[in-house]
């Protein structure tokens, strides 16, 4: 199954083409559908500035979103740049999705709208961030013991991305989970314990976006 709008964005970002899932429609396919649906509402701008990709929202303009990307971005020796560019642009698209789907106080700043869960006050944010941290730390432990992951460059990439998410867990729950799932899928590492645990985190987030509730420890 091809998603023309999303495929075009990935191509323009210099990324690896997403897999054709016509005969294997699964949870990640549902996420791709979500991303494809929101693409027409985002301004995508190439920017050769050495930054993988970045989302900009505007104060008081709920419908405005811009994603800039560097189509030549490369990160480190542990990471396949072309696959990571795809993962990065989907990470940013997920930022836009969560900015629109979660319930939160009115008149939030653009930064507040990036928070990856429903919340009503600061205590809600602290409590749910702690659960994101617990889930990410569990993901690291699983990757450390996963024989299909631990002795490969992929392990270093996973560790780096999860550590990145742990710095700001309130805005990098399903965004980081999605970029890891996409990267692993494109690299052919989608049949292992680490990938399946990340799928469970993504499923938890998708259900919560639709049905409300707080972040759960998985």
Q: Tell which residue, 207, 203, 178, 186, has the closest CA to residue 92.
A: 178
Q: Phi and psi of 51, rounded to 5°?
A: -105, 135
| Residues 96, 26, 157, 138, CA torsion sign | positive
At residue 151, the pLDDT reads: 85
Rg (CA), the chain: 16
Q: How far is CA 117 from CA 57, 86, 112, 170, 213, in A?
A: 17, 24, 11, 8, 9
- pTM of the entire predicted model: 0.96
The tens-digit pLDDT sequence of the chain (218 residues) is 899 999 999 999 999 999 999 888 999 999 999 999 999 999 999 999 999 999 999 887 778 999 999 998 987 677 888 999 999 999 999 999 999 999 999 888 999 999 999 999 999 999 999 999 999 999 999 999 999 999 889 999 999 999 999 999 999 999 999 999 999 999 999 999 999 999 999 999 999 999 989 999 99
Q: Tell which residue, 96, 89, 45, 91, has the closest CA to residue 68.
A: 45
Tens-place pLDDT, residues 46-100: 999 999 999 999 887 778 999 999 998 987 677 888 999 999 999 999 999 999 9
Spatial distance between the Cα atoms of 162 and 181, rounded to a whole number of angstroms: 12
Q: Tell which residue, 59, 7, 63, has the closest CA to residue 36.
A: 7
């Amino acid at each position: 199954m091809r998603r023309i709008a999303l495929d075009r964005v990935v191509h323009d970002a210099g990324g690896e083409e997403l897999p054709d899932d016509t005969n294997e429609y699964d949870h990640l396919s549902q996420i791709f559908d979500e991303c494809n649906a929101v693409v027409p509402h985002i301004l995508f701008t190439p920017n050769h500035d050495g930054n993988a990709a970045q989302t900009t929202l505007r104060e008081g303009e709920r419908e405005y979103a811009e994603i800039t990307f560097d189509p030549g971005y490369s990160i480190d020796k542990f990471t396949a740049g072309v696959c990571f560019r795809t993962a990065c642009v989907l990470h940013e698209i997920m930022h836009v999705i969560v900015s629109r789907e979660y319930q939160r106080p009115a008149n939030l700043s653009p930064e507040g709208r990036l928070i990856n869960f429903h919340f009503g006050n600061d205590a809600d944010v602290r409590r749910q961030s702690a659960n994101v941290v617990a889930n990410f730390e569990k993901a690291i432990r699983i990757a450390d013991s996963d024989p299909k992951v631990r002795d490969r460059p992929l392990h270093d990439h996973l560790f780096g991305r999860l550590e990145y998410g742990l710095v700001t867990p309130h805005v990098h729950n399903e965004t980081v989970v999605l970029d890891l799932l996409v990267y692993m899928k494109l690299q052919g590492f989608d049949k292992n314990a680490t990938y399946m645990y990340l799928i469970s985190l993504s499923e938890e987030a998708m259900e919560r976006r639709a049905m409300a509730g707080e972040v759960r420890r998985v």
